Amino acid sequence: MGRLRNLLIGLTLAAGLSAAGAAPAQAQLGAAMRDRLVVITSESSTAITRMLTLSFTERFAGVTEPLVRHLPSSAAMELFCAGIGPQTPDLTIVVRRMPRTMLETCQSNGVRDVVELRLGLGAVVLAVRRGEATPNLTARQVWEALAAERVNDEEFVVNRRSLWSDIAPNLPRNEIRLIMPARGNGTTGLFEDMILEGGCRDVKAVRLLFDAAYRRGKCITLREDGRVRVLDGVEIPAALLASPPGTIGLLSYDQLLASGGNLIALSVDGVLPTQASIFAQDYIATRTVYLYAKRQHTRLREGIGVVRGVREFLNEATSEGAAGPGGYLGVTGLVPLGPAERAEQRRIAERLTLISR
């Protein structure tokens, strides 16, 4: 709670409101208007958020550039759901869908009118530097290389394998090294869910574990012997370029594209992450980028509300010029949804249709 309070106070001050006058929120919806949107973005959707806020500011005359803050996906949703009023965010852009439990937290804090939009598709990739070996890995091999424990004669033992060739003879004799973001980052979350759990689910010793939480722990708990290095997500591309040969980095598809060809993606389970494989969701670690907005913050005709621009921002985010084929969000690695899905998202944005689940 202390961390959340500090974040709310920081947003209040950055948005030009007094901390003392920021609560209670609901009593101030008409009186304490903000002149700029506040957007919380997950670290993995930073590039998308930056492009959207710049385009939104340029498109609408007299608009103050939105205030953007970067947090891990779970923290971004937590802050979004902290309440309503000028001291709380208007929008959040994340790379995982809001869980039902978080939506219930929103509602219990007064955030009842939530709009959910799907902006497009992205992916988590394993990458190496250009010119290095690009092994065709399976999710099972990735888990066997990185898990804290491996299976030996149906028993779990400490994982001491040091080379990729220890996992399978066709893999290079490179040291097992991975650079990845910390827990709470959307990239790490998808890596755990799709690649690590996907790689261990068919292991007999894992299947025999009855307790689901214990089973998941065996799948996603990584070794702590120095072979897995944790960094801030935005630092990973540069760190990978400066790392010893054979090091693999875990990053988002947009970070891969932004490297200008200096980083090369590895295939997982025989599928290389490309626009086509991500759109078809053939690539195992594909994800959807979501935008959440508070309809309660929208300024209505009567002048009541927290801030102007919520509806306009949603319309911009779902426009063909942004999220369609050839749209400017393509340079961030966002893969467009299909035509019918894009049309549906535009209708939700125009009508501010509330989430229903």
| 253: Cα separation from own chain's centroid | 11
* Cβ atoms of residues 123 and 254 within 8 Å: no
Look at residue 290 in the predicted model and tell me its pLDDT.
Answer: 97
pTM for the structure as a whole:
0.79
Residue-wise pLDDT tens digits, 259-274: 999 999 999 999 999 9
Q: Which domains does the chain have, with CATH numbers?
A: 2-122+287-351 (3.40.190.10), 123-286 (3.40.190.10)
Residue-wise pLDDT tens digits, 137-149: 999 999 999 999 9
Closest CA to 338 of 283, 281, 292, 293: 281
Q: Sorting pLDDT into bands at 50, 70 and 90, what band is 2? A: low
- CA of 125: how far to CAs of 146, 232, 252, 287, 329, in Å? 15, 16, 6, 11, 19
- CA of 195: how far to CAs of 111, 190, 266, 282, in Å? 34, 8, 13, 13
Closest CA to 1 of 83, 67, 68, 110: 83
Q: Does 80 score more than 80 pLDDT? A: yes
Label the pairing between strands 178-181 and 248-252: parallel
Q: What backbone torsions phi and psi does residue 42 show, to the nearest 5 degrees?
A: -70, 155
Q: Does 329 score more than 60 pLDDT? A: yes
What token pair was written down for 302?
């009567």
Residue-wise pLDDT tens digits, 268-315: 999 999 999 999 999 999 989 999 999 999 866 444 578 889 999 999
Look at residue 351 in the predicted model and tell me its pLDDT.
Answer: 95
Q: Does 81 score more than 70 pLDDT? A: yes
Residue-wise pLDDT tens digits, 117-129: 999 999 999 999 9
Q: Does 23 score more than 70 pLDDT? A: no
What token pair was written down for 238?
């540069």
Q: Does 25 score more than 80 pLDDT? A: no
Report the percent of the chain where pLDDT is more than 90.
67
Residue-wise pLDDT tens digits, 177-214: 999 998 777 788 889 989 999 999 888 888 888 888 88
Q: In the predicted model, what is the mean pLDDT of residues 131-140?
A: 94
